[in-house]
Structure 1
Amino acid sequence: MNDPQPNWIARRSAATTDMYDRAVQAGLTGHTITRRSGKTVRLDDGHECVEFVSCSYLGLEDHPRLTQAVRTALDTYGTHFSSSRNSVQPAEAHTLEELLGEIYPGMSALVFNSVSSVHLGVLPLLGAGVLPGYPIGPGGVLFVIERTAHASMQALRGVLEQAGPAVRFRAEEPATLTAAMDLAREQGRTPVILVDGIGSMGGLVDVRSLADTAAELGGYVYIDDAHGISISGPAGAGYAFEALGGHVPRSVLLVGSLSKAFGGSGGFLLTHDPADVTLLRREANPMVFGHSNMVTHMLVNAESARMHLDGTVTELQEALWANTELFDKVNSGNQLVNAGTRSPVRGLAMDTEEAAFDGAVRLRRAGILCFPVFYPVVAQGTGLLRFALSSRHTPEQIQAVADVLADR
């Protein structure tokens, strides 16, 4: 029997056009690369292009210290040790978590194989009220999800609702958050606000005010700062940590990525109470039933953490922000998403999907790859050209983008 009111996944699928398929067929996205050197990649058709797609904002992946870490891992462990994380792990996993504790003083870190695994492992247990450092009141939990929070959190709504109701709000419309907090107050529930730090498509979230709002009701703000880690702050602690005043308040659970600017792979959670880490190791779904982090990446992550602490990333941060400033300057005639902000992501918003498609075609013909974005990533009927900037881009490569975009 057909459901007269399709669920949100069905509605989203029904509203999605064939623009992504067209973009793949036109060679605008869905690329296959055979080699890379700096920000230049060779495609499987033999063409070489400059890419503004990778989220390697500091360009660490081919740093000699990290490539040597891979060689050491291969010699020490082979390619992989297949087991659940709570069964067997390399010694470097402990080293990495200790180093993260130095980057974020006073915090206990737990590493997962991805940020999505952090969400899957942590949020159900948080909602159930079993994490010692983050108690949930007797009225239960209310999950309050920001509309643009990453899809890896949005997709868990059905799972989260086993612990308590989930509602959404818009960061740009404060009244929607106020309504959610009023609902939590009326029902005696503990609010847990789910947000990104830096949006993957644009925007910086005011995480400090959200932490204050959650704390007023004895609740928490859960921050996915995947795109903010490493790019700023002392020792590369990231956007959210810096915006929070250089510490993690008791009302905050901070999640970071090791797979973007950090130069390795995986995700991590920071908590105030080591007892939370003990419980998560024992009960978090990905820890019990998921595979462990690749040993090569564990050694890479640990070496990258040392590079954060010894000041190596500071120079790379300076180069990144010089490049974002240049990108904004040479594209000043365009209405850029995130222009002038401390985000490594820039976007050119388009009124229609066809306009975004045509822009990506012009860039591709000039040997430049960006990420053409359509619904459901952006609003229905619109498009976006997304540019991920890196410390490794050259001034000439950045100017080339501006030259193409100016010829409209």
Structure 2
Amino acid sequence: MDAQNKQDWMTIRRDNTSSALERAYAEGLTGLTVASRKGKRITLKEGGTFTEFVSCSYLGLETHPSLIEAAHQALGTTGLHLSSSRSAMRPVYLPQLESLLSEIYNGCGISVFTSTSSVHLGVLPLLGSNSLKSYPIRKRVHWLMDKTAHASMQVLRGILQQFGEVSRVQSTDPESISSVLGICAERQETPILLIDGIGSMSGLVPIAQLCSRLEQAGGYVYVDDAHGISITGRHGAGYALAAVDNQLPRNMVIAGSLSKAFGGAGGFVVVSDPQDVPLIQTLANPLVFGHSIMVPMLAANVAAAKIHLSNEIDILQNHLWHNVRLFDSLTHNRLLNAGVQSPVRGAFFETEGDGLKACRILRANGILMFPVFYPIIAKGKAMLRFAFSAAHTENDIQQLADSLSEVAHAGLWKTHMAPA
């Protein structure tokens, strides 16, 4: 197929997407409208109270009294929003938050964005254009896009190609990485590997080994650790930093989230040298042309950061991993990620129809989860995604395990299969 007739990725996705998700919406199996909640129990607008395993707030900090009080106080002093880019006007909580995050990350350079996706959009062009002096580029970059990297990076492929070639690799396959690194060496290109730390649907990536491998090749590793932030590591610095002994290598950049286990809203970047931060804040498009995080959420982020710097973060992490281990034990390690230090588990089904039937059984038993179909997994398959939290009780975990046993007894779910 020639370039003129080649289909774009959105057309391919549209033409291969079935009606399974629409059916899930129509039946109230997903697309839920929440009227109220107490802990992990949510009441829907349409009626009914359920235990949810949907939220990515893995430590339950979004309902912590300190965060709620901080947000209330900010509303009283500053209102909802300073609708301005940070270069023109910024809430007092923004520099406070960046200072606290720098303490969590051992003095590294920090800049806060409105989302992790905005971090990618702002920082990757700076990396590719040789703008960050702590991450020098030899001749031209060559992006190594891991096949399991988050969609928020995958969708930037057209932008990244303005700075260098993009090759898709499998980060867990040494031969896949070596092949592209060999090309980079021949062309004198600087390789930049783009990966997730903890996948939203799958397991862990070997951060330390990849960082060492890219260092030998004169390249860099850019880690989207959105799902790894807060749940592990000293001060909740996350999976990526913990994997490298809590000391950021000179050839690593971390993109983190404040919207998941951290408990608040927004994203941030961690760079090895604080001297790169002023350039990020004056050149990154989302910071120059976008607004700051809403003031109450910034204040809540500050409160969350203080919790991360206290012993409370260790207690919350221990609660989370106790719940995860209990679930794995009750389900006999049958789900995706079983035994892995990830707060996400997945049950796979051979057909979308079986996945929808399983959703109905779980909902009837008072359980809500996230049903997943193509393009997140292989066409025609289904997966039920379960996100665990420190806020879940042991009764919640038992309720889910018993409900999955009912799904298995119905002949819908026989084994744990890896997604194609």
For the aligned pair, the TM-score class normalised by the smaller chain equals over 0.9
Shift in Å, 1:50: 0.5
Task: Indicate the residue corresponding to 1:279 in structure 2.
Answer: 279
Partner of 2:92: 91
Report the equivalent of 2:51. Answer: 50
For 1:188, the equivalent position in structure 2 comes to: 188
The answer to whether structure 1 residue 106 and structure 2 residue 107 are counterparts is yes
Equivalent residues of 1:142, 1:184 under 8 A apart: yes
What CA distance in whole angstroms lies between the structure 1 residues aligned with 2:340 and 2:248? Answer: 22
Counterpart Cα distance in 1 of 2:121 and 2:30 = 28
Distance 2:208 2:172 in 1: 15
For residues 229-265 of structure 1, what are the alpha-carbon distances to aligned partners after superposition, in whole Å with 9 as ceiling and x for unaligned? Answer: 0001111111111111111100100111100000000
State how far apart, in whole Å, the 1-side matches of 2:285 and 2:112 are: 13
Whether the aligned pair in 1 keeps the contact of 2:346 and 2:383 (CA below 8 Å) is yes
- Displacement after TM superposition at 1:131 (Å): 0.9
Cα offset, 1:186, TM superposition: 1.7
Equivalent residue pairs, number: 406
Following superposition of structure 1 onto structure 2, how do residues 383-394 of structure 1 map, counting pairs within 5 Å? Answer: 383-394=382-393
More displaced 10-residue stretch of structure 1: 164-173 or 297-306? 164-173
CA distance in 1, matches of 2:380, 2:185: 37
Which residue of structure 2 aligns with residue 228 of structure 1? 228
Is contact 2:327-2:398 (8 Å) kept?
yes
Q: Tell me the equivalent position of 1:371.
A: 370
Q: Amino acid of the residue matched to residue 344 of structure 2?
A: V
Contact conserved, 2:195 with 2:224, CA < 8 A, in 1?
yes
Q: Distance in 1 between matches of 2:289 and 2:87?
A: 9
TM-score by length of 2: 0.95
SS of 2:144's equivalent? strand
Contact kept? 1:146, 1:194, Cα under 8 Å:
yes
Q: 2:167, 2:228 → 1: CA distance? A: 25
Q: Name the counterpart of 2:135.
A: 134
Residue aligned with 1:165, SS = strand
Conservation of the 8 A alpha-carbon contact between 1:103 and 1:237: yes
| Native 8 Å contact 2:115 2:257 kept in 1 | yes
Unaligned runs of 5+ in 1: none
Question: 1:347·1:387 contact (CA, 8 Å) conserved in 2?
Answer: yes
Report the AA paired with residue 103 of structure 1: I
Alignment partners' CA distance in 2, 1:258 and 1:58 = 12
C-alpha contact 1:85 1:293 (8 A) present in aligned 2: no
Give the deviation of 1:4 after TM superposition.
Answer: 2.5
Once residues 204 and 83 of structure 1 are traced to their aligned partners in structure 2, the CA distance between those partners, rounded to angstroms, is 38
Superposed displacement of residue 170, structure 1: 1.4
Q: What letter corresponds to residue 370 of structure 1 in structure 2? A: M
Inter-partner Cα distance in structure 1 for 2:229 and 2:103:
15
SS at match of 1:61: helix
Aligned-residue CA RMSD (Å): 1.3
Please name the residue that 1:261 is paired with. 261
Q: Distance in 1 between matches of 2:277 and 2:350?
A: 46
Answer yes or no: is 1:244 the counterpart of 2:225. Answer: no
Alignment-derived partner of residue 335 in structure 2: 336
- Is 2:119 the counterpart of 1:118? yes
Structure 2: runs of 5+ lacking an equivalent = 409-420
**Distance across 1 between alignment mates of 2:6 and 2:89:** 46
Deviations 1:103-151 (A, max 9, x none): 111301100000000000000111011111111112x000101101100
- Write the mapping of 1:52-67 to structure 2, written as runs, cut at 5 A: 52-67=53-68
Contact 1:196 1:205 in 2 (8 A): yes
For 1:105 and 1:135, the matched residues in 2 are separated by 22
Could you give the per-residue CA deviations for residues 272-320 of structure 1, whole angstroms, max 9, x where no partner exists?
A: 2223111111110001111211111111111111101011111110100
CA–CA distance in structure 1, aligned partners of residues 195 and 14 of structure 2: 24
Structure 2 CA distance for aligned equivalents of residues 176 and 15 of structure 1: 27
Cα distance in structure 2, aligned partners of 1:135 and 1:150: 25
Match of 2:416 in 1: none
Greater CA drift, 100-109 or 149-158: 100-109
* Distance (whole Å) between structure 2 residues aligned to residue 380 and residue 179 of structure 1: 28
CA drift at 1:352: 2.0
Q: Cα offset for 1:3?
A: 4.8
User: Structure 1: which amino acid aligns with 2:68?
Assistant: T
Q: Shift of residue 395 of structure 1?
A: 1.0
Please name the residue that 1:401 is paired with: 400
Cα deviation, 1:335-376, whole Å, max 9, x if unaligned, reads: 211111111111112222222211111101111101010011
Question: Structure 1, residues 185-222: CA drift from partner, whole Å, max 9, x if none?
Answer: 12211000000000000110001111111111211000
Report the equivalent of 1:348: 347
Q: Which SS does the other structure have where 2:229 is aligned?
A: coil
CA distance in 2, matches of 1:188, 1:14: 39
Separation of aligned partners in 2, 1:311 and 1:98: 19
- Secondary structure, counterpart of 1:178 in structure 2: helix
